[in-house]
Amino acid sequence: MKSYQYTHPILNKRFCVSIRFFILILATFFPSPSLANQFQEGLDAIHETNYEVALKKLLPLAATGHSAAQYNLGVMSEWGNGVPKDYAEALKWYKLSAEGSHKDAQNNLGAMYSKGEGVEQSFVEAFKWFVISSENGSEAGRKNIDILEKRMTSEQITKARTLARKWVKRHPRK
């Protein structure tokens, strides 16, 4: 008669590795409720014009790559809400947020390039960001394309669209 040894699944090494991998996937792709709460508290603070609290809540999130937190820090810097008005700082936060596919940050980057705020004015770069933003679902980006293309040559538009395509190819949506 053959005997079988029963191994409890918890003690099975392969099972433990699978559980660890599953937990890693959950932690990576599903942010913890505390991060969502921290972001919401930061937004609430902005709406209450309590910018000190907003900074306290949003800066740590932005440092971890939270694109919406980065976007809101960009807005605060662009308009001088709770921080000194600083276009270079706004541009930094918008660029980081745009890398995370934040359509409003992409649109605001385009606006800064079109006006030359914090950067040398460039309609080509502005148009590129408006195209990216529009393709990401921004109605404002679409409207800004219509406005800006009237001030550009067909060569500039072609160049900007090529740059936008290349950027999108290198930065798939997250």
Paired tokens of 159: 């160049």
Residue 117 pLDDT exceeds 80: yes
User: CA-to-CA distance for 34 and 40, rounded, in angstroms?
Assistant: 10
pLDDT value of position 8: 47
User: CA-to-CA distance for 19 and 22, rounded, in angstroms?
Assistant: 5
Residue 74 pLDDT exceeds 60: yes
Q: In the structure, what pLDDT confidence band is assigned to residue 29 with cuts at 50, 70 and 90?
A: low
In this structure, the number of other CB atoms found within 10 A of the CB of residue 68 comes to 18
Residue 119 pLDDT exceeds 60: yes
In this structure, the number of other CB atoms found within 10 A of the CB of residue 168 comes to 16
Paired tokens of 79: 């308009």
User: CA-to-CA distance for 104 and 117, rounded, in angstroms?
Assistant: 17
pLDDT value of position 174: 63
Block residue for tokens 């195209």: 131
Residue 59 pLDDT exceeds 80: yes
Residue 147 pLDDT exceeds 90: yes
Higher pLDDT, 37 or 36: 37
What average pLDDT does the chain have? 87
Length of the chain: 174
Please tell me the pTM assigned to this model: 0.79
CB-based contact 70:102 (threshold 8 Å):
yes
Residue 5 pLDDT exceeds 60: no
Paired tokens of 157: 């538009």
Residue (of 41, 66, 37) closest to 55 by Cα position: 41
pLDDT value of position 36: 79
pLDDT value of position 20: 56
Q: In the structure, what pLDDT confidence band is assigned to residue 16 with cuts at 50, 70 and 90?
A: very low
Rg (CA), the chain: 22
